[in-house]
Amino acid sequence: MRILRIEAMRGPNQWSVRRQHLIVMRLDIQELEERPTDTIPGFYERLTKLLPSTFSHRCSEEHEGGFWERVKRGTWMGHVIEHIALEIQTLAGMDTGFGRTRSTSDRGVYNVVFSYMEEPVGLYAARAAVRIAEALISGEPYDLEADIQKMRELREESRLGPSTASIVQEAVNRGIPYLRLNGQSLVQLGHGVHQKRIRATITSRTSNIGVEIACDKEETKQLLESYEIPVPKGRVVRSEEGLKDALEVVGYPCVIKPIGGNHGRGATIGIKTWDEAVAALAKAREISRSVIVERYITGLDHRLLVIDHQFVAAAKRTPACVVGDGTRTIRQLVEEVNQDPRRGYGHEKVLTRIDIDDHTEKLLARHGMTPDSVPPKDEVVYLKATANLSTGGTATDVTEVVHSYNVFMAERISRIIDLDICGIDIMTDDITQPIRETGGAVLEVNAAPGFRMHLEPTEGIGRNVAEPVVDMLFPPGAPSRIPIISITGTNGKTTTTRLIAHLMRSVGYKVGMTCTDGVYIMNRMLMTGDCTGPVSAQFVLKDPLVDMAVLETARGGILRAGLGFEHCDVGIVTNVAADHLGLKDINTIDELAQVKSVVPRSVRRDGYAILNADDERVMAMRKACDCKIALFSLDENNRLIRQHCKLGGLAAIYENGFITISKGEWKLRIEKAVNVPLTYGGRAVFNIQNVLPAVLAAYVRGVKIEELRQALATFVPSPAQTPGRLNLFQFKNFQVVVDYAHNPHGFEALGRFLAKVPDTPKIGVIAGVGDRRDEDTINLGRLSARMFDEIIIRQDRNLRGKSDDEIIALLVKGIHEVDPAKKFIILKKEEEAIRHAIGTAPKGAFVVLCSDVVPDALQLVLKLKEQDDQVPFSKDDIPNRNKALVG
């Protein structure tokens, strides 16, 4: 078998709008296409032995054991690999169960699709599943545990920690979107101008001064002491000499810890001798130059959590330990404790496995023991100096028994240090009594306290401590989303996108826009190139200035990774026509329509899918939409439009020369098409079609009719407003149009426009694209022969799989099929072709430049027009003027 491609879907996609995190593996099973599982001796037995838990897979049989029945009866290897990939993720602690396998038009090649929880794990599972299947086929032994452990490690490297994850999940439960801003714990909650950020349990509201104070343990202690908060007596030291002086004041037993440490790193407790103190000093200085020496306060370790200056939870913490039985070694006792099903790798489960590391061995040595010592019966042996859950410690919820004075003190400390979220470590024998009466003390104030001990305590009830965090960041009624308008289709989507952005800017929105030309924030280009995929969409959604996103959404990005957002408020489909067919297993227009339908299917329930009623494939999408529907049509008598409006629906139509919104059976006329600059006096019908969904999108977002009329009047087709979209240049003796038309549907629309242009001759500069079907390139030749009197064939900069001669031959074939005598020449370089077309154009000509690299073409045309304006020749001296333009 051969893996041809693996891609990770991260948003709504063609396979599933609801299940957004999917791995798509294009797999060639080669000769196994002729060998279903029932023809491979011993395969069923080896599979069920290696992966007995796959018995729970129901498959299409809808009952346990269904998958096994399919294997026994005979199924193809792609299907088996899908189930293996799902099961090994489950065995690694990530239970995810969606999958499907589909054949492609290439024999023996399948798209194996399955869900994942962590992307690196999903990608690994795809490759591992193929390796496992190959071992099962050959009968060779396979180390499954090695794969499972590797996936656990990948999960711990990539997933959010339990604290961050709990806040993110609480936000998701409330419909608040999130974006990870790096590979660690920096997360954005909300979109655009409404965003808030968290890094673990530090938020965008957290005081920088508060964090600095909390990170300096000595400063924290001094500040708390000045407010009459009980703290341990201690000194800051930097050397052994200073340590000696400090111990004379503090005495034994003591605690030595780095001044800037956290999570117990570098800390040693219960120090009773000078040698132990020297060793602890060296350990602490590995973390920070300055070290605190404190009196060791005996008692029980408690953590009080305060959020938004309100006490929310408390836990009693116990370091990792074992209890002796008089017969087994400490190492054996640890192995038994780790058998607890609640313990797992890293943050996999409620508790973490206990590891015997150097720190453990040193701690044991201080008490005259080793991991192989046998402790007496019922003796508690502590294996870690601190009570962190991440090192195997346990937690007991004590929220409901904390004395009111201790609650008051904790809330007061949060304000003294000025932290919106803080964890206060208290040592006391009895948390139910005021710590002043028990002789307890506040040991530390943590600026980024872990939530795990409160979310899933070892004993007691869990507390949803993420809830008050989200309440603080997004109080009731506070917005978290910005409106998202997504535009897809074969042709017209860029012009529609730009027009919508213009309409929304005109009424005061700070618009972020993506399109084939780049990314614009508040009308300033920040990225160039084709920016119609999910990365560009998220670039806009991350921007803190943006309060409206208008996103052109092309098929390529959907196929590559899905949408860059979970839901949109308005989803527009302009049309669906033949383009890019034969790529990524999209071979028919119906399959292309299925890809583009992802946009309207992702519209929020209270949003609008705006569909082209003149396109039957687009109209078919409404059946899969779970939102409001609005339609647009160039024909007010369109049967579907009339039915829709009769039922009270909303539509935009072209009627009696007007661009009109139909609200039920009432007509709201916006403007005559001839008065809208984008339509070129009504001649550019395809731009009238682009205006309709644009005004409809703005209308459903609250833009008034008069505001629409004014904004349409100021949207002038030009290199600045609509680069490469029917940009018209008036030279002295002829006209030039630069357009992005690059597929048959676009050429047909351009042809209808040219039919209304009286100028002659019509000269076209055309090119084919290497990654299109031969029939599509031939058809471009045919359409060009009908549209133009003269043709100049150039070649795209990116040939995409074919040679320039192959592409040109296909274009010529199409031209000759229509008119064997049609005049054409071949100039492969685009600049040469443009210079020739403009430099030789006769008086009254209409030159059409179909360009794929629009900025370069526009720059050259503007340069030539500037030269034309400066050429001093008379109108009768056309040949000499043209020679000057050719340059």
Mean pLDDT value of segment 254-277: 84
- Residue 799, pLDDT > 80, answer no
pLDDT of residue 388: 80
Cα angle: 771, vertex 773, 779; to 5 degrees: 120
Most confident of 381-385, 484-488, 850-854: 484-488
**pLDDT band per the 50, 70, 90 thresholds, residue 886:** very low
- Token digits for 273? 């001798």
**Predicted confidence (pLDDT) per residue in 20-31, tens digit:** 899 999 999 999
State phi, psi for 648 to the nearest 5 degrees: 90, 10
Q: 342-346, 537-541, 592-596: lowest mean pLDDT where?
A: 342-346
Alpha helices in 298-428 (DSSP H): 330-337, 358-366, 404-417
Q: 560 or 798: whose pLDDT is higher?
A: 560
Q: 34-48, 123-137, 383-397, 820-834: lowest mean pLDDT where?
A: 383-397
* CB 838 within 8 Å of CB 736: yes
**pLDDT band per the 50, 70, 90 thresholds, residue 269:** confident
Distance CA 552, CA 537 (A): 9
**Predicted confidence (pLDDT) per residue in 95-149, tens digit:** 988 999 999 999 999 999 999 999 999 999 999 999 999 999 999 999 999 999 9
- Residue 223, pLDDT > 50, answer yes
Distance CA 213, CA 210 (A): 5
State phi, psi for 492 to the nearest 5 degrees: 85, -5
Mean pLDDT value of segment 587-597: 94
Distance CA 842, CA 72 (A): 75
Tally the residues of the chain: 887
Distance CA 611, CA 609 (A): 6
Distance CA 57, CA 54 (A): 5
- Return the CA Rg of the chain: 35
* CB 423 within 8 Å of CB 416: no
Region label for 461, one of left (φ > 0), alpha (ψ between -120 and 50) or beta (otherwise) = beta
Q: Within a 10 A sphere around the Cβ of 418, how many other Cβ atoms?
A: 16
527 bridge partner residues = 519
Taking the CA of residue 809 as centre, how many other CA atoms within 13 Å lie in the half-sphere pointing to its CB?
A: 6
pLDDT of residue 262: 67
pLDDT of residue 315: 97
Place of tokens 């800037």: 260
* Average pLDDT, rounded, for the chain: 92
Q: 880 or 10: whose pLDDT is higher?
A: 10
Q: Within a 10 A sphere around the Cβ of 432, how many other Cβ atoms?
A: 11
Q: Within a 10 A sphere around the Cβ of 188, how many other Cβ atoms?
A: 20
Collect all residues with Cβ–Cβ distance below 8 Å to 438 and sequence separation of at least 6. Answer: 299, 428, 429, 430
Element (H, E) at 855: helix 854-870
Strands (E), 260-342: 268-271, 291-295, 300-307, 310-318, 321-323
pLDDT of residue 88: 97
Distance CA 280, CA 272 (A): 11
- Residue 454, pLDDT > 80, answer yes
**Predicted confidence (pLDDT) per residue in 563-581, tens digit:** 999 999 999 999 999 887 8
**pLDDT band per the 50, 70, 90 thresholds, residue 263:** low
* CB 220 within 8 Å of CB 210: no
**Predicted confidence (pLDDT) per residue in 634-690, tens digit:** 999 999 999 999 999 999 999 999 999 999 989 999 999 999 999 999 999 999 999
Percent of the residues in the chain that have a pLDDT greater than 70, as a whole number? 97
Q: Within a 10 A sphere around the Cβ of 393, how many other Cβ atoms?
A: 24
Nearest to 452 by CA among 260, 303, 307: 303
* CB 501 within 8 Å of CB 550: yes
28 bridge partner residues = 2, 109
**pLDDT band per the 50, 70, 90 thresholds, residue 885:** very low
Distance CA 636, CA 658 (A): 10
Total-model pTM: 0.85
Strand pairing report for 310-318 and 291-295? unpaired
DSSP conformation class of 726: S
- Residue 874, pLDDT > 60, answer no
* CB 350 within 8 Å of CB 455: no
- Residue 597, pLDDT > 60, answer yes
Place of tokens 């929220």: 399
Mean pLDDT value of segment 309-337: 94
**pLDDT band per the 50, 70, 90 thresholds, residue 316:** very high
Sheet holding 254-258, edge to edge: 234-237, 291-295, 254-258, 268-271
Q: 267-271, 305-309, 684-688, 710-714: lowest mean pLDDT where?
A: 267-271
- Residue 160, pLDDT > 70, answer yes
User: HEC profile for 150-176?
Assistant: HHHHHHHHHCCCHHHHHHHHHHHHCCC
Mean pLDDT value of segment 746-766: 89
Query: First and final CA of the chain: distance in angstroms?
Result: 58
* CB 274 within 8 Å of CB 364: no
Distance CA 292, CA 281 (A): 9
Mean pLDDT value of segment 257-267: 77
Nearest to 708 by CA among 721, 695, 717, 697: 695
